[in-house]
Amino acid sequence: MNSEPNGEPTEQAFRPSRRSVLAGSAAVAAGVTIGNITPAAAEPPTSHLIARWSFDHDHDGQVVDDSENGYHGTLIGHPTYVPGKVGKALRLDGAGDAVEVPAELTKGMAAITFAAWFRMDQPWPWGRFIAGFAGGTGALYMEAKGQNLTPVVSLRDGGARADARTFGRIEAGEWHHLAVTAADGQVRCYLDGREAARQDGVTFDPAHLSGGTGYLGAAPDTSANPPKPRGVLPGALDDVRIYDVALDAEQIQGLSGPPPAPPGRNTPRYRPARDTAPETWRGSTRWIGSC
């Protein structure tokens, strides 16, 4: 993107040096703004936003749905409000705190995007859930597993099952962005704006989550009657969103910001398990189950 000098433009074209072009390209890749160079990110379509819980307008134990569709959540336990990635965040104790949200929000949906900022405050030897939904025949779980805090996304639909163990590593005490999209048998997982896992031919219908139970910061224990939260997140959540379309990679980055840059002299620390382009992650993704 060329910048022009002050005053009237002249007929002589501005030709940046090769060094400046390479520097500008590297800046865009790293998510850095230099002069008029700004990373491009597509704005997600607000017309397809089904629910958004920002935790900025909650009151009287109600977690307000900022999409104005009325899918307000209910606090369980005694969560607290802390500074978040954007505005306020909801801090969960890892024991009994959670947010119950209406699972019927997926009724009639043929596609879904779930996206959220989350922070794990400490590692756990078993899974802790960022969110979980379980309906009559379908289920969708997003969790962080193990001492290395590996994000895992699980989908169920009838007898079909697919689990994605992404290869991005998260750091305890730091904010990360997780998104999963599902449409027409295609599932994509994104961690901090990078595509971290994908699979085609997955049997999953988001409408089958309707009529069940949904939690933010936990997953439903369907063996209990009524269901109760299990695997509560020891950490915080912020800006949780659900869309009725599968957002593309640029739209996901519109929520998460550009992917972190590899570590370098002038770049922030970032330590994924692999630092490669998204297309090379595909062959290494571990999908388990019937897809």
Cα–Cα nearest to 230, from 127, 85, 145: 127
The pLDDT, as a whole number, for residue 40 is 52
Determine contact, residues 105/50, Cβ cutoff 8 Å.
yes
The pLDDT, as a whole number, for residue 261 is 64
Spans of all domains in the chain: 46-261+268-288
Determine contact, residues 178/118, Cβ cutoff 8 Å.
yes
Domain 46-261+268-288 coded CATH 2.60.120.200? yes
Choose the weakest-confidence range: 16-25, 67-76, 77-86, 190-199: 16-25
pTM: 0.76
pLDDT tens digits, residue range 72-111? 999 999 999 999 998 999 999 999 999 999 988 999 999 9
Q: Which residues of 77-102 are buried (b: 16+ CB within 10 A; e: fewer)?
A: eebeeeebbeebbbbbbbeebbbbbb
